[in-house]
Structure 1
Amino acid sequence: MALRLNVFGLIVADMGRSLAFYRLLGLDVPEAEDKSPHVEYVLPGGVKLTWDTIETIHSFDPSWTPASGGPRIALAFECPSPAEVDRMHAALVEAGYESHKAPWDAFWGQRYAVMHDPDGNGVDLYSPLS
């Protein structure tokens, strides 16, 4: 059997704050999960995005420490239009999340913005310009 990548996992300091961020991006994660130590969300196509609290990771890897020097992973969300990139960026900033790069028209032909989720992971918002 060939290997199949099917899970992207995020380790979070505050499950509720992280899930609230991803809900604003359109992921329909139930609010009842805000206190869970592990959450799974199946994306279209069957790939899962998961969240684990630091305490959950420490339960099986007590020596785990977060990477230093900046985020090591970035997720990218395609928006239906360039205007939606601007709207989503503004909504996330309004909700108190950190913008890394405000929307701009990238030379590769996309409207692009970069946010940080509550744990510092890069979250890109993009849409083709044409």
Structure 2
Amino acid sequence: MTPVVVQLNLIVADLDRSHRFYQRLGVEFIPRNRMGAGPAEAWVSVGTGITVVLHSTGFAHWWDESAPQPVAGGAQMDLQVDSPERLDALVAAIAADGGVVIKPPADMPWGQRFAVVADPDGYRVGLKAERDSSGA
């Protein structure tokens, strides 16, 4: 299965300022907070085709504690792959080819297996796979 681009993450220095900017362009958002409620730590676009998420640096550091940390002005494209096993194999192949693995594969609290690699120019690429019901 070919990976599908499912999300573009924009790491922003001032979440409110960026939210207002994109709202002016007509983008609608819903808030996201790691606790499920509380002030927005990220804004998730609605109806944009590919989901665009504005992340505060603090929220990005929560879901990706690896080094180097996501920074304001950085972008990360997320690809959906068909299985956790495929995700692990892709990351292993990238590492074997001398590529950069930023965040090794891990099972995340939102129900996906997730990893972050760097493309040859340093752009972050998130890899996501739905975990099966057994939690694998």
Q: More strand per residue: 1 or 2? A: 2
| Length-normalised TM-score, structure 1 | 0.45
Q: More helix per residue: 1 or 2? A: 1
